[in-house]
Every structure is written in structure tokens, then in C-alpha cells.
Amino acid sequence: MMKSLLSTSTSKKSDSSAIAGAGCLTVVVCRAKNLAAMDSNGKSDPFCKIECQNCPQVFQTHTQKKTLDPVWNESFPMYIGTLEASQTLTIRLFDRDLIGQDYLGKVSIPLSKLIHESGDSLEAWFPVEEEPTENFNKGTKLPGELLLKLHYPKTASLRGAVKRENPKKYYKIEKTLGQGAFGEVKRAVNRKTDRVCAVKILKKKKLEEQSKKLLEREIAIMSKLHHPNIVELIEAFDTPKNTYLILELVTGGELFDEIITRDKSYCEKDAADMVRQILLAISYMNSMGISHRDLKPENLLLDEEHNIKITDFGLSKDFTAEGQMATACGTATYVAPEVLLGSNYGVSCDVWSVGVITYILLSAHIPFDGDDEGQVFERILSGTYTFPSPIWDNVSSKAKDFVSKIFIVDPKVRMTAAECLDHPWLNMSGEKPSAPLNNNLLKHLGEWNTSQRDLRNREKATLEFSSASSEASDDVDWESRSTQTQGGV
């Protein structure tokens, strides 16, 4: 079923001037400090432009309002082909003004630094060069710095392959974390590094041939993804009886579980911060031509630091490899109109799903409900929804505008993930804290979450295992999930 893994190691430092790895350099622009203040009020509206040799695209972070120590935490995939010592990554910083922009300096990084790293990643503070000599900083200005994370999978072609050996040689497989229809998830510890992981064990005798092909595709897609808001596939193994996926262990539970058990008020800005994290990951995936196709609350997990992690890539597709899709798949409540129609569609279907999640986060109701499945589908296809009172009375006009610009039936007119990130609702860092949402929202959200969990238990589709069976013929059985679409939450 699986391709064999070539034996290559990155444990030793490389003395090569070029490495033919994944072809994709992931640049995470984390934060900056001590930037030049170009406004008379002593502040700045900073953003970055990122470019690299051999990559035709120029990427840009989103503006952080009025701060000299901005935090972006934005990830950008740059297709550079072979990693070469002669290549330079350049990041220019600007201050957005009412008219135009002021230059704040640049960071230049020779990629030879990454070549000679022992692993695939480099994280460091880099000095800002060419800073303006005239500024409005208070007191003595310290040198500006930019924190970056660079990742180039030097053996990524191997990451997508599967080792034909027993994982117990490399991992101590410990207690069971959960079970599903096709296998189980256990705790695992790397024998060499002591890194704690999760191992998803799939019993091959329970997988049909089509499901095995889907599993191969899931591995191939996850091996390309390296983002702080996506669960990482570390490696995979294949034995005569089982397939093992070694995954990043995420221990914070599901996103909605955290919301309903928090001991503090739940505000609109909390929802905006969550949606922003989801969209950062979706924008990253979509820029690589990859669509998740099954975004829903149970596929949004939290790590120990409460960062969102997207999981379950069983229905995902690489549009660059397979072209536009025409398969009706996903979960009915969250599916885009073009997917329901089975017409040719692209990565914009993920944005629609984010819109549904946003609507639920703000109201604890689903946007497209009905007395039966047919009525639900009709409302999705026509884009018919409302912002009923009193549920939406405390929700801002910016949030409603954000949702409205997603729930556009024509995917060509709908906002892209990148455009969503530029929407004013997701850029409220300089505004006053928003008031708590409807007092009963957390109660209703908890009731809805419980009903969804009961439904998943009845369908025996827990712990991501739906990815191995959801597309038995590359189609989805909407009927089995119809109860998710009926009525309000």
C-alpha cells in the first residue's frame, strides 16, 4: 500500500551548498521589538513584506495597530525549489500611514544558515538593518529586531513516505488515549529524544482498498504542512497488520469544550481571536492549493498554550495535484453551496465552513437550519440566513459584515482566507475590549456541543477515524449526518 522510506538522516550538520528537499520554505514572522516610531505620537503601524530568490510571490503580514513591538505569528509558504546557500530571504518592514508607507528597515538572511542547521528549522532574532535615523521614539532607541522561524523539510519527500518497519523500534507506545471503528490512538514517546507524541494505529484488515488510498493521500498532504495552527504529522510506519501515524500530541481538548468551561466572560474579541487563528492556517493551506474540506468544531483542538490546532485531513485535497474538485463531501452543516451542488470548486469552500463556525461562536446557533435536511440544503444553496434578535443584539456590525461577506453563494465573489484576515473585525487589537456576548450563549453552546458529541458517539466516528471511511467511493452519506442540521443549537 505504502511507498518505502529511503534511509536519510538529518541528525548531522550538512556541509552541502544545496539541498533538494521539499521545495517549500515556510517562514513564520513571529514578532518584532524596538521598531522606529514614524508618527509624532511615538507609535507605528508596522507590517512586513517577505520575498526570497526563486520565489515569484511577495507575501505581506497584516498590520498591527499602533505598536512598536508587534506580534504577527503569521506563516507563509515560499516555493523556492532546491535550498541553496546563495539564496537570501529578505523581509522589509514598513509603517502604514494615512497616505503611503514609511520604510522601517529590512532583515536579510542567507539561507546557508538553514542549510548548516542540524535539523529542518531555525528560530532566532535577527537585527533590522537600514533603520531610519530620524524617528519619534521616546528616549534612546534600541536596535530593532525581528523574531523569525524558518522551516525547510530537508527530507520532506521521505516524510510523505512510510517506513516499512515496526515503530516500537523508535517509540515507546504507552496508554490508550481513545478508540474508534478502525483503530485506536495511544500515547508514544520517542526513545531518542523523549518527545511525547500521539500514535494513531489503523488496523489494515478493517480498511477497504479505497480507504487505504485515502490514507495515503492524507499522509501525502499532511507531510507538506508545517504551521503552528495545524496538527503535525511527524512520520508514518507500515507493518503487515497496521499503519501507524505519529502525530503531534495535542492535550487541550476540543475548542468548544474550552469555551463552555472557561471561568471568565466570553466576548466577541475572544471569538475573533479564535477565527483569526483558524484563518491563518486555512490561508496557509489554500496558498499551497490544499483544501481541508471538513472544517467543523470537533476538528479544532487546543494545545497547552490554548493555540488552535486543525486536525483530521481525511477529506483534504491537493488542488495543485488533482485540479478542481466535483465531489460532494464534508459535514452537511458546514458545507459550501458549490460542494453540495457537486460542481467544480476550489479552496474557497473552506472559507464558507469558517463562516459557519464563526456564526456558531457568536450565537450558539447554526446559520442554515430547517425542519428537514432538504430545507437545510435549500437554504445553504440560496444563502438564506438571518441575525435574529435578541441573540445577535450584542454582536457588532463588523462581525455581521464579516459573516455576510463569507456567506456569498458565488465562490468567486466570496472573500478568500487572505481577504478575511484583512477584514476590520479581525483587526481590533487597538480597540476597547468588547462587551460579553449574550448571557445564555455559553449555556446554549454547551447544550449544542453535548448533542454533537452524542451524535458522534452513536456513529462511532470519534478521534479522527472518520477520515478513513468518509469517502468509500469519494462521496459522503449526507443522510447519516442529517441530525446535525436540524433546528437551532
Contact of 236 with 243, CB cutoff 8 Å: yes
Distance CA 245, CA 200 (A): 5
CB 395 within 8 A of CB 362: yes
Q: Which is catalytic among the residues 95, 294, 312, 350? A: 294
Q: Assign 129 to helix, strand or coil.
A: strand
Q: How far apart are CA 374 and CA 460, in angstroms?
A: 25
Tell me the C-alpha distance between 42 and 260, whole Å: 40
d(C-alpha 486, C-alpha 242), whole Å:
38
Q: Give the separation between CA 42 and CA 48, rounded to whole angstroms.
A: 19
Q: Are 31 and 74 contacting, i.e. CB atoms less than 8 angstroms apart?
A: no
- In angstroms, the CA 421 to CA 469 distance is 33
In 223-343, alpha helices (H): 255-261, 268-287, 319-322, 337-341
Residue 146's closest CA among 36, 278, 284?
Answer: 36
Cβ neighbours of residue 257 closer than 8 Å, sequence gap 6 or more: 449
Specify the DSSP class assigned to residue 339.
H
* CB distance 331 to 461 below 8 Å: no
Can 318 be counted among the known catalytic residues? Answer: no
Q: Is the dihedral of CA 357, 361, 362, 366 positive or negative?
A: positive
HEC-encoded secondary structure of 374-429? HHHHHHHHHCCCCCCCCCCCCCCHHHHHHHHHHCCCCCCCCCCHHHHHCCHHHCCC
**Contacts with 68 (C-beta within 8 Å, 6 or more apart), sequence order:** 33, 34, 35, 36, 37, 43, 44, 46, 137
466 and 312 in contact (C-beta within 8 Å)? yes
For the annotated catalytic residues, the residue numbers are 294
